[in-house]
Amino acid sequence: MSDDLLARHRAVLPSWMPIYYPDDPIEIVSGSGRRVVDQHGRSYLDFFGGVLTNMIGYDVPEIREAVERQLATGVVHTSTLYLIRRQVELAEKIARVSGIPDARVFFTNSGSEANEAALLMAANLRRSNQILAIRNSYHGRTLATMGVTGHRSWSASSLNPFSVSWLHSGDRVRGLLASLSDSDHIDAAVEDLREVLATQTAGDVAALIAEPIQGVGGFVHAPDGTLGALKKVLDAHGILLISDEVQTGWGRTGEHFWGYQAHGVTPDLLTFAKGIGNGFALAGVVGRAEVIDAVPAISFSTFGGNPISTAAGNAVLDYVLDHDLQANAARTGAILLDGLRAAQPDYRILAEVRGRGLMIGLEFVHPGTTEPDAASTVRVFDECRRNGLLVGKGGLYNNVLRMGPPLTLTEDEAREGLQILVNAIATADAEAVTL
C-alpha cells in the first residue's frame, strides 16, 4: 500500500481484529450501486455489503439527501432527553412492520447492544438470569451477548452474567440432527428443548434467544416451523422468545420481511441492526410494551437513535418498502441459489448450498467427506476477489463462504456474480486433494 496503511493499522489496532486478504488487504475508497473501488482503482462487485450492512448499496441519493437535510439543521445530536422527530417517525414505522402487537422500540448503536438490551428486558420481566441459546449462534461482542454465543471462535471469555443452557442447531451437514427429515428434525428439537428444561435449568427460564438463520455460524438454519414448535413449549413455561434479526431482517430472505415469519410464530422481542442504517450506526429492539417496559430503572442510549442515524434509517426503510426490495431479494437470490445448486453436483468440495433470498452460504469440505476444508474455502474466497467479486467467510470451522449482497442487486449482477463464483469453485475443486 502506498502509505503503508497496513503497517500503520497493525501498529495501533488490536491484533485480534481480523482483516481480509492479510497479505494484500483492500482499502475501499469509493462505491456506487453494488460496486466498490479499492486503493488501486480496481472495481469489485460487492456480495458482502460491509457484513450485510450496506443493504441498499452505495451512494444512494435518497439516503444521502435525508442525511444532508438533517446536517443542514446543525443538529447532529440532542440525546433522548429531548424529542427527536426522526426517531419517533422511524419507531412508528418499525412498530408497524414488526408484526408484534402493541409494540415499543428502543434504539441502540449496534446489534450487540440491541441483543444486550433484549436480554436485560427479558431477565427483568421474568426475574431470572437463565437463558436458552442455540449452538453455533452469534449474538455480539459484549459480555452478555458473548455469553449466549454458541461459537467458540467468537467467545473471548468464559465469564458470563447469565446461566445458559444450549439447544441443538439446525446444521444439516453434521451433528446429531443432521440426517433427519424436516418433520423429524422439528420433533427432535422439541424433545431436546423439553429435556434441557427438565435437566439443566431451575425452571424459571427468562428467554430463548435465536437467529432464524445463523449469520456468523455460516447461514445455518433449522427447518421452517421449528421456532413455532419450540414456542409452544416456551409458552407453557412462560419463557419469552427473542428473535435476533440483525442479519435476517428487512426482507433479505425474500420469502418474508422477517426471518421469524418462516416459523409461524411471533416473538416477544425482536432485535435489529446492520441494514437499517445502510452504514450509519443504528440498531434496536422492538417488542411488546409489557416486555420493553420491564426495565425498573431509568435508562437510555446516548447515541442510539440520534437525528442523523434515524434520518438515514427512515430513508432506508422507505426505500425498502417503496421499491419492494423483498421481492427483488427473492428474484435475484433465486438466480444465485438455483445456479449454485445446479452446479453443486459437479464439485467434490461443495457440500451444501443454503440460504434464503440474498442470504447465501456455501459450505466446503474435503472431497468424499464431511470434514471442513478451510483451505479450499480460502482458495475460492481469494479467487473471487481476483476476478472482481467480494464475498465473506464464516461458519464454525471457517469453511463457509457467506454472501449478503445489497437488496438492490440486479438480475444481470446476480448472473455476473454467479459466473465468478462457479469459476472460483471449479478452480479450487481441481486443486483439492482427497483425504
Angle between helices 182-200 and 226-237 (to 10 degrees): 30
Question: pLDDT tens-digit profile of 271-311?
Answer: 999 999 999 999 999 999 999 999 999 988 999 999 999 99
Q: What percent of the chain has pLDDT over 90?
A: 94
Strand order in the sheet with 392-394: 350-356, 359-364, 400-403, 392-394
CA dihedral 252, 256, 257, 262 (to 10 degrees): -110
Task: Report the C-alpha gap between 156 and 146 in whole angstroms.
Answer: 8
3-class state of residue 81 by DSSP: coil
Those residues of the chain that have pLDDT short of 70 are 1-2, 435
Angle at which helices 61-72 and 307-322 cross, to 10°: 150
Q: How far is Cα 210 from Cα 117, in angstroms, rounded to an integer?
A: 15
How many CB atoms are closer than 10 A to CB 157? 8
Question: Where do the domains of the chain lie, and which CATH numbers do they carry?
Answer: 5-59+324-431 (3.90.1150.10), 64-322 (3.40.640.10)
Q: What does the block give as the cell for 368?
A: 468424499
Cβ neighbours around 402 below 10 Å, total: 24
- The confidence score (pLDDT) of residue 435 equals 62
Q: Is the pTM of this model over 0.85?
A: yes
pLDDT of residue 210: 98
- β-strands 28-32, 35-38 pairing: antiparallel
**Burial, 163: exposed, middle or buried (Cβ in 10 Å; 0-12, 13-18, 19+)?**
middle
Rg (CA), the chain: 21
Q: What span, in angstroms and rounded, lies between the C-alpha atoms of 119 and 205? A: 12
Task: Say if residue 142 is exposed, middle or buried (CB neighbours under 10 Å; 0-12, 13-18, 19+).
Answer: middle
Instruction: State residue 1's pLDDT score.
Output: 39
Count CB atoms within 10 A of the CB of residue 173.
17
